[in-house]
């Protein structure tokens, strides 16, 4: 499959902070899982993230609304 098409079809996750100081941490894919990117959101801020060749997991700390193709959930409850 064309790598560019692969990224266009990758899953997206939408995260909305429900409190100040929500952390979103991107984790690497591969033999050793490591942190590769961190974002800090304040209440009401939104980030849309995509799983890619580099990002295999996203860790969320704090109270946030998370929307995926599988449904909605609230972290930090």
Domain with 27 in it: what CATH number? 2.60.40.50
Residue 31, C-beta contacts closer than 8 angstroms, at least 6 positions apart: none
Q: Give just the sign of the alpha carbon dihedral 73, 66, 28, 50.
A: positive
- When pLDDT is averaged across residues 33-59 and rounded to a whole number, the result is 84
Rounded to the nearest 10 degrees, how much is the dihedral formed by the CA atoms of 73, 45, 40, 54?
70
pLDDT band for position 16 (cuts 50, 70, 90): very high
Given a cut of 70, whether residue 38 has pLDDT beyond it is yes
Residue 74 has pLDDT above 80, yes or no: yes
Number of domains in the chain: 1
Q: What confidence score (pLDDT) does residue 49 get?
A: 85
Alpha-helical regions (H) of the chain: 3-8
Q: Tell me which residue range forms the domain holding 51.
A: 3-75
Q: Give the predicted TM-score (pTM) of the model.
A: 0.78
């Amino acid at each position: 499959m064309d790598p560019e098409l692969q990224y266009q079809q990758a899953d997206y996750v939408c995260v909305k902070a429900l409190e100040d100081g929500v952390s979103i941490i991107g984790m690497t894919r591969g033999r050793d899982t490591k942190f590769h990117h961190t974002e800090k959101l304040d209440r009401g801020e939104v980030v849309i993230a995509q799983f890619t060749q580099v990002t295999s997991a996203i860790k969320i700390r704090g109270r946030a609304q998370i929307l995926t193709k599988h449904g909605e959930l609230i972290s930090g409850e």
